Amino acid sequence: MKQKGIFYLLKKSYFFAKENRKNFIFYVIGSILFCVVGAITPLFVAKELLAITGGLWEQLFMAALLVFGFEFLRAFLNFLNGKNSQRFFRNTLKNIQLKVAEEILKIKTEDFTKASSGYFIERISNDSSKIADIFKDLNTYITRIIVNVGILISIFILNIYVFILYCFFLTFLYFIQYQKNKAYQINDQIMREKRERATSLMTELVRGSMDIKVLNAEDAFLEEAEKRIVDLNEARYHMFDTNRLYRFLYDNAKNLLDFIFILLAITLIRNNLLSIATAVVVFNYRNQVMLTLDYVGNLMEKTREFTLSASRVFQIIDSDGISKESFGTKQKKKIAGDFSFQNVSFQYEKGIPVLKNVSFEIPKNHTVSFVGRSGAGKSTVFNLLAKLYEVEDGTIRIDGIDIKELDKDSLRGNISIISQSPYIFNMSIRENFKIVKKGVQDEEIIEACKAACLHDYIMSLPDGYDTLVGEGGITLSGGQRQRLAIARALIQKTEIILFDEATSALDNETQLQIQKAIENMKGEYTILIIAHRLSTIINSDKIILMDKGEIKGEGSHKELLKSNTLYQKLYALELEKEIH
Ligand code: ADP
């Protein structure tokens, strides 16, 4: 990934802040006011101080009053600006996060599966906030630096010797800060990588917790998690150690400044080159002046972090090295449901063909079963039809139109995939329907659930349709999840339904209900089933037998049983399984 320039990235980032232009303008005006007050008032204080004659107590009183007045005004403006900046920051962050989420959903399956979920989560959360932060940070540090420059000029007017002393220490502190930043950059890069590794594993752990348990792999997983967390912690400790060392040097340099200041002030006061009141005022501002370099350092650091995070986020938004799905422009709101594969060949990895010259036709409203050994390429047919992967050779047509030409809604809006273990969202059952179809009525949901043989079960739950299903639908059984996915497809009224029958042994009752749910859809939809059970095979209009990426037979159950030796073998195997 090539890192882009800061101004280019700022300009691009401002696009997300545009909607809040009003807040932004108020924010900038507030900051300018803050700068003016911050930089001009000390000058005024300095002039007033130099003009005060009177006795020592009177001078000290005036000095204290002026400093208090100035600080109060600054704090007040800061307070007013804070509220505005929060609103601006939050809205900008929301815009960026939504855009990243939108673009993540467009990423091609092959690129998406290559990256870890930690990679995407980091970009939506951490990196996006760094982009939104930059407007706040730039404003904060630039205004503070300007204010401090104003204070330094005031000190120059008040006393040149103190000014020289401060400038000397500023240079010294800058050197320490510079070294610290250099070390920080290296450590931060390492820490980010380690954090991404740890986050990824934790996401896997949460997502795959059931499988980890069943695999009895808790120890191995926890061991790996420990390794990654320890790794991350080591990077953190190293970073803290380095920071502590520089903090130690920095603090002591400041202590040394205090010591030298007192010596210098005594000498200057003795020689009538500095009044006590002025000494009090300039001493009061020493820490603030020394912070100038902290601010410069922070500004540099924040812009560096921003550049890194913005490059990562815009890599996703601008598809830099990441490919996005593309669709045609042809619109077909309602399709009939005929489709065909014509000489389709496909490979996931170069040199490993998965489908070889596959051709078949399926008329609308037919139910067709795909059978064949595991790895034969059955799921790949589904993946290509839903364009989760793009076909390389050959053509897939729906209602005679090449799917490459169809726009997204015409294609995906007409196809549902019910996988072996469908993902049910961690919401209530009702919300699971509402999220896939805006404005869906309760009656429609109930009707679909009845057709999917799920309504009675839902009604038996204490909260009925408002029952929460847990992450991924964990509180539902595999069969219930599949039936819910069937109901989801019915709600969407997609013409083509791709159903991947669960290989896992479902109890007879569940199997019967799923079977009944499919029976309810037959004749109205084009249904493709990856079949693992005899009952499904026998009832379908056509069976397509696949082996090693090729079609090895096509026809009704009876026809294949009569003439196809591979089918006979598979059927005998199935039969044996059913009996046992
Ligand atoms: P089936 O559904 O008949 O069991 P699949 O279509 O799932 O078979 O798989 C066909 C072949 O493609 C298998 O050898 C499998 O390993 C491979 N395959 C499936 N999905 C991917 C993927 N995302 N990346 C790489 N290879 C894959």
The CATH number for 224's domain is 1.20.1560.10
What spacing in Å lies between the alpha carbon of 490 and ligand 1's midpoint? 27
What spacing in Å lies between the alpha carbon of 201 and ligand 1's midpoint? 24
Closest by Cα among 410, 420, 408 to 382? 420
Angstrom distance (rounded) from CA 86 to CA 434: 32
**75-133, pLDDT tens digit by residue?**
888 787 777 777 778 888 899 999 999 999 999 988 888 887 778 888 998 899 999 88
Mutate to test the pocket of ligand 1, among 112, 345, 379, 385 (most ligand atoms within 8 A of CB): 379
Angstrom distance (rounded) from CA 324 to CA 559: 44
Number of structural domains, the chain? 1
Residue 380 alpha carbon, nearest atom of ligand 1: 6
Q: Has residue 334 been placed in a domain?
A: no
The residue contributing the CA closest to ligand 1 atom 23 is 348
What spacing in Å lies between the alpha carbon of 383 and ligand 1's midpoint? 10
**Would the pLDDT of 569 be above 60?**
yes
Contacts of 294 (CB under 8 A, 6+ apart): 177
Encoded tokens for 84: 């505005």
Quick one: pLDDT band at residue 508, thresholds 50, 70, 90? low
The residue contributing the CA closest to ligand 1 atom 7 is 379
Angstrom distance (rounded) from CA 362 to CA 342: 12
**Would the pLDDT of 256 be above 80?**
yes
**Would the pLDDT of 1 be above 60?**
no
> What is the CB < 6 Å shell around ligand 1?
348-349, 354, 372, 374-380
Residue 113 alpha carbon, nearest atom of ligand 1: 23
Which DSSP letter does residue 336 get? -
Contacts of 269 (CB under 8 A, 6+ apart): 275, 276, 279
Q: Has residue 234 been placed in a domain?
A: yes
**Are residues 488 and 425 in contact, defined by beta-carbon separation less than 8 angstroms?**
no
**Would the pLDDT of 44 be above 80?**
no
Mutate to test the pocket of ligand 1, among 341, 346, 374, 380 (most ligand atoms within 8 A of CB): 380
**Would the pLDDT of 507 be above 70?**
no
What spacing in Å lies between the alpha carbon of 55 and ligand 1's midpoint? 92
What spacing in Å lies between the alpha carbon of 97 and ligand 1's midpoint? 33
**Are residues 42 and 70 in contact, defined by beta-carbon separation less than 8 angstroms?**
yes
User: Which pLDDT belongs to residue 199?
Assistant: 86
Find the mean pLDDT for residues 504-526.
73
Quick one: pLDDT band at residue 30, thresholds 50, 70, 90? confident
Quick one: pLDDT band at residue 420, thresholds 50, 70, 90? confident
Encoded tokens for 325: 């799905």
Find the mean pLDDT for residues 313-323.
88
Mean pLDDT value across the chain: 85
Residue 374 alpha carbon, nearest atom of ligand 1: 4
Q: Has residue 477 been placed in a domain?
A: no
Encoded tokens for 498: 């791709």
The residue contributing the CA closest to ligand 1 atom 21 is 348
Q: Taking the complete model, does pTM exceed 0.95, yes or no?
A: no
**465-487, pLDDT tens digit by residue?**
998 887 667 778 878 888 898 88
**141-165, pLDDT tens digit by residue?**
988 898 888 888 888 988 899 999 9
**342-400, pLDDT tens digit by residue?**
999 999 988 899 999 999 999 998 999 999 888 899 999 999 999 999 998 999 999 99
**Would the pLDDT of 555 be above 60?**
yes
Find the mean pLDDT for residues 202-220.
83
Find the mean pLDDT for residues 210-239.
89
Beta bridge partners of 529: 369, 499
Find the mean pLDDT for residues 502-507.
62
The residue contributing the CA closest to ligand 1 atom 14 is 375
The residue contributing the CA closest to ligand 1 atom 6 is 377
Q: Has residue 136 been placed in a domain?
A: yes
Which DSSP letter does residue 105 get? T
The residue contributing the CA closest to ligand 1 atom 11 is 375
**Segment holding 548, helix H or strand E:** none
User: Which pLDDT belongs to residue 504?
Assistant: 60
Angstrom distance (rounded) from CA 437 to CA 443: 13
Q: Has residue 297 been placed in a domain?
A: yes
Quick one: pLDDT band at residue 580, thresholds 50, 70, 90? low
Q: Has residue 419 been placed in a domain?
A: no
The residue contributing the CA closest to ligand 1 atom 13 is 375
User: Which pLDDT belongs to residue 63?
Assistant: 77
State the CB neighbour count (10 A cutoff) for residue 438: 6
Residue 549 alpha carbon, nearest atom of ligand 1: 10
Q: Has residue 40 been placed in a domain?
A: yes
Residue 109 alpha carbon, nearest atom of ligand 1: 23
What is the domain range of residue 265? 6-317
Find the mean pLDDT for residues 404-417.
90
Residue 382 alpha carbon, nearest atom of ligand 1: 6
Quick one: pLDDT band at residue 2, thresholds 50, 70, 90? low
The residue contributing the CA closest to ligand 1 atom 26 is 348
Quick one: pLDDT band at residue 228, thresholds 50, 70, 90? very high
Encoded tokens for 291: 């912070």
Find the mean pLDDT for residues 525-554.
87
The residue contributing the CA closest to ligand 1 atom 16 is 375
User: Which pLDDT belongs to residue 340?
Assistant: 93
Sheet with 353-362, edge to edge strand ranges: 353-362, 339-347, 393-398, 401-402
Residue 179 CA neighbour count, 13 Å, CB half: 13
Task: Return the SS3 of 514.
Answer: helix
What spacing in Å lies between the alpha carbon of 175 and ligand 1's midpoint? 58
**422-468, pLDDT tens digit by residue?**
888 888 889 988 888 888 899 999 998 988 888 998 999 888 999 88
User: Which pLDDT belongs to residue 578?
Assistant: 63
State the CB neighbour count (10 A cutoff) for residue 267: 12
What spacing in Å lies between the alpha carbon of 535 and ligand 1's midpoint? 25
DSSP 419-468: -SS----SSBHHHHHHTTSTT--HHHHHHHHHHTT-HHHHHHSTTGGG-B
Q: Has residue 74 been placed in a domain?
A: yes
Residue 500 alpha carbon, nearest atom of ligand 1: 2
Quick one: pLDDT band at residue 490, thresholds 50, 70, 90? confident
User: Which pLDDT belongs to residue 212?
Assistant: 86
**Are residues 280 and 63 in contact, defined by beta-carbon separation less than 8 angstroms?**
yes
Beta bridge partners of 406: 330
Find the mean pLDDT for residues 36-59.
74
Mutate to test the pocket of ligand 1, among 110, 345, 348 (most ligand atoms within 8 A of CB): 348
**What is each CA distance from 173 to 176, 188, 239, 290, in whole angstroms?**
5, 22, 20, 8
